[in-house]
Structure 1
Amino acid sequence: MEVYDALARARGRGDRVVLVTVLTVEGDASSHPGAKLVVGAGGVLAGTLGCSEFDSAGTDLAVEALDQEAPIRRRLDFPGHGRTRAIELFAEVNEPEPAVLVLGANPVGRAVADLARAIGRRVVLVAPGGDTAVRSGVEVRADDPPRYLLAAPPGPHDAVVISDHDATWVDEVLRVALASDAFFVGMLGSRRHAPEAVRRLRDGGVPEAHIA
């Protein structure tokens, strides 16, 4: 179905979207139970609730659900010349697909990105140079890694992998990533570099709970 395809595409792009579904219909309402609308930050992506009036109401409810980061169930009345029309809507927020964020596009970083993509994970490779020598389907972002993480913080189902322990941005990225909701933060490095990185984090005041 178009609605579910649009939902999957949006989540695959890393977007948060809302699926609005009609639960009940009362009166002479031009809709039916099960009608669906997919709404993203930029507006309607697919589907309809039956008419522009209902679509507008569904979009407003979706925006509210995105702001609250929680599902909403609500009955809406639409007075007319005859019997009052009413629909009950359910707006459910759909989070982006879990991602592996690979920071640094050296050969190790590209290999990690390719492997993660090969096993079906959404992968974002972030590097100042925007290296594109990776498997098809890997999102490549030519950006400063610390700035990217601050602009698009990892979620609780995302993993962060730092592939270049010599990069000038490593310490800043570690501080940002460790303070995020990411379920995993790792850096590829030798037995010598890893303890040094941990020491710098402690010296910089990073809470022990973020390092352990």
Structure 2
Amino acid sequence: MDSVDLDVLRSALEWRRQGHRVDLVTVIETWGSSPRPPGALLAVREDGQVVGSVSGGCVEDDLIERVRKAPLTSGKPALTVYGVTKEEAARFGLPCGGTLRLMQEPLGDTAWIAELIARTTEHEVLARVLDMETGRVTLSPAARDEQISFDGKVLRTIHGPRWRMLIIGAGQLSRYLATMAQTLDFNVTVCDPREEYSANWDVSGVTLSSAMPDDQVLAMQLDAHSAVVALTHDPKLDDMALLEALKSNAFYVGALGSRANTAKRKERLALFDLTPEEIGRLHGPVGLRIGSRTPPEIAISILAEIVAVKNAAAEREVPSEASSCAVA
């Protein structure tokens, strides 16, 4: 669940506590071009105030009018579809004949929202299960690779930090990268056994480990939702992490350094039990080439590359029969 959707739930909870009527809207499926993926959230108040988004804007305007003029009175969720025909797609600003299938539900009991916010803040991944017949919501643990599902009776959405990032080194660059990564809902762990660095770490929300880098990589059991970035400039530490990370299922493994240093690093890695294919997975020099010079700019370039690889990996996860896509 990205930070936009978490803000939607926080706002919806506060509005309900203030006594407002609120409808929560969830993107179930998309066809053609769509700015928001399945699972994206929007909350609409009875007076037209809105937070979040499910499209480029025109659909939101129509949803607001629906809530104002004909609010749901049954207390049960209902399906709404936009863009069934080319004319409707054009009317609502859905490009390429796009279609949105949405779940609109009036919020009654909001205890589940408070619980979901609290548990995802503690880095739990949860499934929210909505019963169409009763409107009842239950929460249960979920795996990071689970996808949204709807069988006509039950809607199951996934919430929480689905992506993890392990940063080797607790230096200045790591501070910027860790802070930025959290805004994109990565669960961030920083590993640095050097006390002179870890003693001054003060980025909230980040797990700090003083373990040796290779031990930390093994302990985390990296999966296809994990990224590793080595930033210490110390081969003894960076290479230890890379030796294990390159053999893992991590979707991204990168290391800071010049082209010359990267070439030397690959020569060192080849002396160990790594295959050429595993060594070839290393992103180095790390980050996109955007002319970055300062630590914040370098952090942006690294995170941009990780996001690009992450989104490509996420697209490969979507079953072939699903046709959701995002606008670049």
TM-score per shorter chain, which class?
Answer: 0.5 to 0.7
Q: Quote the residue 2:176 is aligned against.
A: 111
Q: Per-residue CA shift, 1:90-132, capped at 9, x if unaligned?
A: 8776563323321111233223223434565442222224445
Once the two structures are TM-superposed, the CA of residue 89 in structure 1 deviates from its matched residue by: 7.6
Q: Is the 8 A contact 2:217 2:241 kept in 1?
A: yes
Q: 1:107 to 1:98 in 2, by over 3 A?
A: same
Q: Is the 8 A contact 1:99 1:158 kept in 2?
A: yes
Of residues 18, 22, 37, the one that matches 2:138 is 37
Q: Per-residue CA shift, 1:176-202, capped at 9, x if unaligned?
A: 211222221111123332112111222
Q: Is the 8 A contact 2:168 2:229 kept in 1?
A: yes
Q: Quote the residue 1:13 is aligned against.
A: 122
What number of residue pairs does the alignment pair up? 166
CA distance in 2, matches of 1:120, 1:90: 23
Q: 1:199 to 1:112 in 2, by over 3 A?
A: same
Q: Quote the residue 2:213 is aligned against.
A: 145
Once the two structures are TM-superposed, the CA of residue 147 in structure 1 deviates from its matched residue by: 1.9
Q: Is the 8 A contact 1:157 1:183 kept in 2?
A: yes
Once the two structures are TM-superposed, the CA of residue 156 in structure 1 deviates from its matched residue by: 2.3
Q: Is the 8 A contact 2:161 2:185 kept in 1?
A: no
Q: Does 1:174 align with 2:264?
A: no
CA distance in 2, matches of 1:95, 1:179: 26
Q: Quote the residue 1:100 is aligned against.
A: 165
Q: Is the 8 A contact 1:179 1:210 kept in 2?
A: yes
**Secondary structure in 2 matching 1:168:** helix
Q: Is the 8 A contact 1:113 1:134 kept in 2?
A: no
Q: Give the gaps of 5 or more residues in structure 2.
A: 1-109, 281-328
Q: 1:93 to 1:181 in 2, by over 3 A?
A: farther
CA distance in 2, matches of 1:125, 1:109: 8
Aligned positions of 1:50-199 closer than 5 A: 96-117=161-182, 121-128=186-193, 129=195, 130-199=198-267
Q: Quote the residue 2:100 is aligned against.
A: none
Q: Give the gaps of 5 or more residues in structure 1.
A: 25-32, 41-64, 74-87
Q: Quote the residue 1:3 is aligned against.
A: 112
Q: Quote the residue 1:28 is aligned against.
A: none
Q: Quote the residue 2:5 is aligned against.
A: none
CA-based RMSD of the aligned residues comes to 3.5
CA distance in 2, matches of 1:141, 1:123: 11
Q: Is the 8 A contact 2:170 2:190 kept in 1?
A: yes
Once the two structures are TM-superposed, the CA of residue 72 in structure 1 deviates from its matched residue by: 10
Q: 1:168 to 1:202 in 2, by over 3 A?
A: same
Which residue identity is paired with 1:164? T
**Secondary structure in 1 matching 2:188:** strand
**Secondary structure in 1 matching 2:140:** strand
- Normalising by the residue count of structure 1, what TM-score does the alignment of the two structures yield? 0.59
Once the two structures are TM-superposed, the CA of residue 204 in structure 1 deviates from its matched residue by: 0.9
Which residue identity is paired with 1:107? Q
Find runs of 4+ consecutive structure 1 residues off by over 6 angstroms: 69-73, 88-93
Structure with more of its chain in strand, by fraction: 1
Which residue identity is paired with 1:37? T
Q: Per-residue CA shift, 1:150-184, capped at 9, x if unaligned?
A: 12233323321111131533323112211222221
Q: Quote the residue 2:24 is aligned against.
A: none
**Secondary structure in 2 matching 1:123:** strand
